[in-house]
Structure 1
Amino acid sequence: MYRPIRGNGIRILIPMLFMLPGMSLIFNPDVSEPVWEFWIAFGIGMVFSIPLIWTTSYEVREDNRIYAKKNWGFVVAFVGILLIRLILRQELTNIDPMGKMALFMMVAFGYIIPWRIVSYIKFRRIQGTIPSV
């Protein structure tokens, strides 16, 4: 059902690269939101990353490979974040659509970047405990 995480865990960081095209939204000249709103959006994203970080963990199984632990708390946290984002998107009607998209991209950066970096660090710690064959 679950596959082991192969290699040195660098694949945990790859989703951050897929977000790079979203940076173009932030630097789009049609976006006229002040810089402080982007900082607040990033901060909100960092708050959203906390439950994801708490509920992401790894384990070494009998085959000496590292697997992500199943955790329903993670599913609840992730769905909760998506619901909060949908509600906020509906409530923020006074912001133009391009600005809103850029701000929500910044929220996504705020929770995906810390979550993936900490997940990578957790993976490497577990990997360091596995004896070499």
Structure 2
Amino acid sequence: MGITVIFIRMKAAKKPTSANKIMLPPLFMSTGALMFVIPEFRVTSMELLEAVAVGMLFSILLIKTSNFEVRDEDIYLKRSKAFPIILISLLIVRIIGKVMLSSTIDVGQLSGMFFILAFAMIVPWRIAMYRQYRSLRATLNQERLD
């Protein structure tokens, strides 16, 4: 699945981006929070804090490697050579973490923690991307007016 995401991301860099393409993935992912309706997926407050902290830490790497460029009056996601390496590294760290923690934390709770980690990783990343996109879009619009 992680490798699929890398290929999708590389392919997406060939097409202009939009605010919807940036902000819709976290919105769609948020439906996964319905898992917490089932008691076995609920986490303690400490597990919640740990998952959010790790997710936000991971998001910093994604934010640093996600940049936009203007081509032909459109905004494109700039390819970063480090991005696939970072995604694979994050995937490996998450898999190792799951294997290590699965012996001490219930599978349902662990699933909940990793959902929270992923969500805490994608939301700041996408917000940073949206802010950068909005700034570039405003610059483009201003240049068209001049």
Alpha carbons 1:10, 1:120 under 8 Å: kept: no
The answer for the alignment partner of 1:67 in structure 2 is 76
Give the gaps of 5 or more residues in structure 2. 1-10
Q: Deviations over 1:48-86 (max 9, x none)?
A: 00010000000011x111111010111111111111000
Partner of 1:98: 108
TM (norm. structure 2) is 0.83
Aligned residue pair count:
130
RMSD over equivalenced CA pairs, Å: 1.5
User: 1:32 Cα shift?
Assistant: 5.2
Alignment match, 1:5: 17
Q: What is the CA–CA distance in structure 2 between the aligned matches of 1:122 and 1:57, rounded to whole Å?
A: 8
Determine if contact 1:25/1:101 at 8 Å carries over to the other structure. no
Residue correspondence of structure 1 range 1-133 to structure 2 within 5 A? 2-6=14-18, 9-31=19-41, 33-61=43-71, 63-92=72-101, 93-130=103-140, 131-132=143-144
Identity across matched positions, percent: 33
Q: Provide the residue aligned with 2:4 in structure 1.
A: none
| Structure 1 portions without partners, runs of 5+ | none
Structure 1 or 2: more helix by fraction: 2
Deviation at 1:23, TM superposition (A): 0.7
Separation of aligned partners in 2, 1:84 and 1:25 = 23
* Matched-pair contact (CA < 8 Å) for 1:49–1:112: yes
Q: Which whole-Å CA distance do the structure 2 matches of 1:14 and 1:32 have between them?
A: 25
1:82 alignment partner AA? L
SS in 2 for 1:48: helix
